A and B are shown apart, each in its own frame.
Chain A
Amino acid sequence: MTNSTVAHKSASEKRKQIAYGLTLLVVGFLIYLFFGRNTEAGVVTTFGLNLAGSQALKIPDLVVPAQTTVYMMMALVVFVGAYQLARGVRSTGLLLGILAFAFIFAFLTWAAQAKSFNLAGMLSSMLVRATPIALAALCGVISERSAVINIGAEGIMLISAQVAVVVGTLTKNLYAGLLAAILIGGVVAALHAFLVIRFKVDQIVSGVAINIFGAGITSFISSRFLQSGTNTLNNSGTFPIISIPILSKIPVLGPMLFENNIVVYLMVLVVVAMHIVLFYTPWGLRTRAVGEHPKAADTLGVNVYLIRYVNVIIGGLIAGLGGAYFTIGSVGRFDETMTAGKGFIGLAAMIFGKWNPFGAFASSMLFGFADSLQVKLQILRISIPSEFLLMAPYIVTMIVLTGIIGRAIPPAADGQPYEK
């Protein structure tokens, strides 16, 4: 007998443990190299915790000694890295969370040294910026849970954004604009569903076609009808901020969560509702079964095609809501290609969120964070070119999609047409 039967950590686990540990140590060193060395002793960094114009109770700002804080963050990362090398930490999520927190906090402390950085402002714009991403992601979740890939969210959102502003301007009623945006999203998704379910057109090809069509038709309409100086079609105004009584008074969290417009609230509502429907109702059970093993569902009398049509169309309605965000939910006018890839980032959020509504929401927040951070840093005028800062959300997308942070498994039948 040999001793290889003795249970021990497999080679790949061991390798992973060392890799994560070394990564943490390297990041700790980078924190020292970039931020620690360049932070002057005795200088303070101010993190603003109040948002101008907000109803939240005022609290004192967070003022920290810059250099000490950076070194503390470095020490935290190095300590966790050493612990990981020596003993190993079970949860990779925890490791990466600590890593990201320490790095970003050190970075902000350095960037804002001797200046003030409005933390409350950044957090509150994080949720707003995450809204269209989350809605695109939710559109993907509900479609793909029934095994239909819909990469057309970008195109749907562009069309809906335009329809929202035009209808809103013409009727002088933003709710009419919102309804129109949602409905047109459903119509475009129905077209996608019809092509891929009835005619079994390749789902990616159909999705790409929708994106190209969306970009083309909205650009055409925009340049032909919306750019004229009078603005009779492209000037809708935006939804007002709705403050939720009492809750909006909470410092930091209040302005972030409870002082938003209707699109943001609806997004949160959709997240919760979709989670309940998917996991606690017959419709959700059937949807998941159709996404995993349509034949099994079929043999139990579940109508596979019906489930897919309805879910894809619901996805379209949700993406339509996401489109409305861009115009009547934020700036009140339509500009060409204003969705700027948010629909695709939404797909990344869906994958990173493992096809779960809350997962998709959380990863959208990550992208929203990268986006709002980028904006705030530009205001600080730090010594990084703004072009690089603009890349932040997309770089985060790429890192996420490499699958470093846990591989996500899609529904088993995802993308496959069903034949009886």
Chain B
Amino acid sequence: MTHVLELQGITKRFPGVIANDQVSIALREGKILALLGENGAGKTTLMNILYGLYKPDEGQILVRGKAVDIQDPNDAIKNGIGMVHQHFMLVPVMTVTENVMLGVEPTKNGVFLDQAKVARRIREISDQYGLEVDPFAYIKDLPVGIQQRVEIIKVLYRQADILILDEPTAVLTPQEVDGLFKILQTLIEKGKSIIFITHKLKEVMHAADDITVIRLGKVVGSIDPKDATPEKLATMMVGRDVNLVVDKKPAQPKEAALVVDDLFVRDENENPAVRGVSFEVRKGEVLGVAGVQGNGQTELVYALTGLLPVEEGKIQLLGQPIHNANPRTILERGVSHVPEDRQRHGLILSFPIHDNLMLCTYYKSPFARGVVLQEKAIFSNAEELVEQYDVRTPNIYVNVGTLSGGNQQKVIIARELSRPTELLIAAQPTRGLDVGSIEYIHKQIIKKRDDGAGVMVVSSELDEILALSDRIAVMYKGRIMEILDAKKASKEYLGLLMAGIHPSETSNPQQEINL
């Protein structure tokens, strides 16, 4: 059996941590190897070594059986290795062509960029691999799924035959994920070999030919996808048995915590985003808001938490109007908010953990006395919450920005849930997180429900909606299609609602179908 690529005994130490410890993996020609592991397990570090962005302390890299020295990305490219990064390496204000040619620009007369030649080559690659894209479109105008195609084209343009995809599905909608898997199959058929890094169990079983699991910088083992089950993989990844389904008792709904009545909200560009939404969230229940990203969920949450003005309609919290109140008033009335964009609205990345843990209440006792902050109280609060919410960090003084995504989210959860809460609004609470963190965060959300708070969970992951919700509202184009009992909801039914089709009306020929 030929291995196009082998990593042997790779070790990489950072100050205080061993990111990779004697890691050995092998990629078979024309196959997809899935590298599975939790966030912070060292997958990305390993791939960055392979791509020449880091230098390993020990170990060697073999391409087609020959040891190669990879000092920088240029060496990797020369050896036929191409990488699609988790955070796309695309310049938004440039065209597809400009992004693809960057670094290896062909010229006319040795001086001027030959854009036409590159555009032609992009069209060829598009046709060959089924990667439809307009070479002269600007990146900033393209949806995320297409941007990813551009990344893949970039790699193919450099004639790579070993492709590394770092968490390629993290930012995609379910439909886009299906599209990506089709593309990967085409690539394999054309003789490329692929390493696919992920922490999502189902994808791995669906797409991979081989699975290698990494935990805490070490290879735990390899497994054939045919023998794998989600439970088995999760246990390998986390190192203990993981509950993939949240245990929860039936809800005990009481009086309404939140009542929203005919709400209209415009987005930041003044376009109507929420268009006449009414619902209520009762204490002791979880209302799941499902929908494909960009159907007004974000703006709905912003309006509820005071981040966007309400154009029309009413919002009541425990019978008190809170529409167009400022965020502090809303928080003080007992709303906890786990924001969708955790790095923009949830944390101040350049602040230490202890300061982030008191951002909502810094002006009040015990954190402040008059105008003076009380360090002792701030530190002990942080120590306590870090312990209680299992935030993995060297200490409470490091900047939040240095933590992994899962641990950043835990800091937010710790801050928001440690306050007295009447209503918890959690938007995409587990996006991009690994199974261990997801399990933990789901448990905390259900616990808050059982303590008697109203909970509203907004998510574009149907699995998450189904796992957490007692009732489910599906949003489409700024309106709620239907609110249904979670026990009666099926994935298929919700999927149709998310696509704007009301199952009882599908026979109606005038219904607009947007898939």
Contacts and interface: CB of A to CB of B under 8 A. Distances in A.
Given A4-B275, A292-B91, A295-B89, A300 B270 contact: no
A289 B154 CA distance: 15
Q: How large is the interface on A (under 10, 10 to 19, 20 to 34, 35 or more residues)?
A: 20 to 34
27 contacts: A2-B264, A4-B272, A4-B276, A4-B311, A10-B271, A13-B270, A280-B112, A281-B111, A281-B113, A282-B105, A282-B113, A285-B98, A285-B101, A286-B102, A289-B94, A292-B94, A293-B91, A296-B89, A296-B91, A296-B99, A298-B73, A299-B51, A299-B73, A299-B89, A300-B73, A301-B74, A302-B102
Nearest to A284: B113
B93 interface: yes
Interface string B69-80: 000111001000
Q: Which 8 A-B pairs have the closest CB atoms?
A: A300-B103, A296-B89, A301-B74, A282-B105, A10-B270, A292-B91, A293-B91, A301-B73
Contact of B91 (A10, A11, A281, A289): A289
Contacts of A13: 270
Interface in B96-120: 98-99, 101-105, 107, 111-113
A411 B98 CA distance: 16
Q: B91, B98, B311, B312 — which one has the most chain A CB atoms within 10 A of its CB?
A: B91
A11 B264 CA distance: 15
B92 interface: yes
Given A11-B270, A296-B89, A299-B73, A289 B264 contact: no
A201 B504 CA distance: 65
Given A282-B107, A293-B90, A301 B77 contact: yes
A5 B272 contact: yes
Contact of A420 (B53, B92, B103): B53
Nearest to A276: B112
B375 to A, nearest CB: 28
B51 A292 contact: no
Nearest to A296: B89
B85 interface: yes
Interface in A241-280: 280
B83 interface: yes
A285 B115 CA distance: 11
Given A4-B312, A282-B105, 20 more contacts: A2-B264, A10-B271, A11-B270, A280-B112, A281-B107, A281-B112, A281-B113, A289-B98, A289-B102, A295-B89, A296-B91, A296-B102, A299-B73, A299-B85, A300-B73, A300-B154, A301-B103, A302-B103, A412-B93, A420-B53
B275 A300 contact: no
Given A288-B94, A298-B73, A301-B73, A293 B103 contact: no
A114 B313 CA distance: 65
Interface in A1-53: 1-2, 4-5, 10-13
B225 to A, nearest CB: 30
A391 B51 CA distance: 57
B113 A280 contact: yes
